[in-house]
Structures are given as structure tokens and as C-alpha cells.
């Protein structure tokens, strides 16, 4: 995929996050709305979803910013910063939706997902083989 395609994927993902936190899906995304589906695991499923969604967001930010192996650290840092800032704006946005509540603790769960993806990037760069680097970054990293 070209950088243009990564940017399109990133913007679509951010749009889906925004849509999911809007009043359109307020009941389905609330703790009460998912409790019947997940039962006693509801809390952990919901927080795992936060981590997964923001891990994907960081990956898309990274690939959108990525231009070559010499820019690994700036891309890693900025993709993490932009992902956490988007998580903060999402919770702020939810605070304005009557059916939703912005929980700042969810930004912590979002940040855990971002850090897990950042750790994956770091590990693959340091210890992953060339095949893993090509799969994750699109090229071999020095």
C-alpha cells in the first residue's frame, strides 16, 4: 500500500472510532448494553476493545507517517502521541453526548494499547527477523 492508502485507512479508522462514540451507538456501546452479551467478562472485554482499537490506531498512524528506516523513532513517538491525543479527544467528545459518559480512565486503557503496539514495533525492530520487519513496516529496518 502507498502512503496515500495508509492515510485513507487511518482517517476511516478515526471516523469509525468517532462514530462508535456518538449518540448513534450510545446504548449498544454502553456497559449496560454489552453486559447481556459478555456477562461477568463485560468489563475486561470492553477494556480489551479499547486497547485493541488504539493499538490499531497507532499502527495506522505509524504507517501513515513512515517514510523510511531512518525515521523509525520520530514515527514511533509521534504515532503514539497522536493516538493518545485522539483517545483524549474521544473521551472529551463522549462527555458532550447525553447518552454517553467520557471516562478519563479509558484514556489509560487506550494508552496501554498504544504502548503494546509501540513495544511490538520496538521488539520487531530489535529482534524480529527480516520477514517480520517486512510484514510490519513494509521494508527491512537497520
Cell of 28: 449498544
Lowest mean pLDDT among 26-30, 61-65, 92-96: 26-30
**Arithmetic mean of pLDDT, 22-49:** 74
Quote the pLDDT of residue 120. Answer: 95
- Specify whether the CB–CB gap between 120 and 52 falls below 8 A: no
Indicate if the pLDDT at residue 8 is higher than 90.
Answer: yes
pLDDT at 15: 96
pLDDT value for 13: 98
**pLDDT confidence band for 75 (50 / 70 / 90):** very high
Interatomic CA distance for residues 60 and 34, integer angstroms: 27
First to last CA, the chain: 21
pLDDT one-digit tens code per residue, 78-124: 999 999 999 999 999 888 877 777 788 999 999 999 999 999 999 99
What is the pLDDT, as a whole number, of residue 27? 53
Residue 11 above 80 pLDDT? yes
Q: Would you say residue 64 has pLDDT above 80?
A: yes
User: What CA–CA distance (Å, rounded) separates 90 from 104?
Assistant: 10
Quote the percentage of the chain above a pLDDT of 70. Answer: 92
Can you read off the three cell numbers belonging to residue 5?
492508502
Amino acid at each position: 500500500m502507498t502512503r496515500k492508502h495508509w492515510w485513507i485507512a487511518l482517517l476511516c479508522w478515526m471516523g469509525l472510532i468517532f462514530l462508535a462514540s456518538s449518540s448513534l451507538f450510545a446504548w449498544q456501546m454502553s456497559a449496560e448494553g454489552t453486559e447481556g452479551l459478555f456477562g461477568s467478562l463485560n468489563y475486561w472485554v470492553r477494556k480489551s476493545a479499547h486497547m485493541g482499537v488504539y493499538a490499531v490506531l497507532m499502527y495506522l498512524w505509524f504507517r501513515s507517517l513512515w517514510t523510511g528506516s531512518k525515521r523509525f523513532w520520530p514515527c514511533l513517538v509521534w504515532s503514539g502521541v497522536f493516538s493518545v491525543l485522539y483517545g483524549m479527544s474521544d473521551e472529551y467528545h463522549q462527555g458532550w453526548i447525553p447518552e454517553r459518559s467520557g471516562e478519563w480512565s479509558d484514556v489509560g486503557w487506550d494508552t496501554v494499547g498504544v504502548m503494546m503496539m509501540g513495544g511490538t514495533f520496538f521488539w520487531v525492530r530489535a529482534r524480529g527477523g527480516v520477514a517480520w520487519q517486512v510484514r510490519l513496516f513494509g521494508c527491512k529496518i537497520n
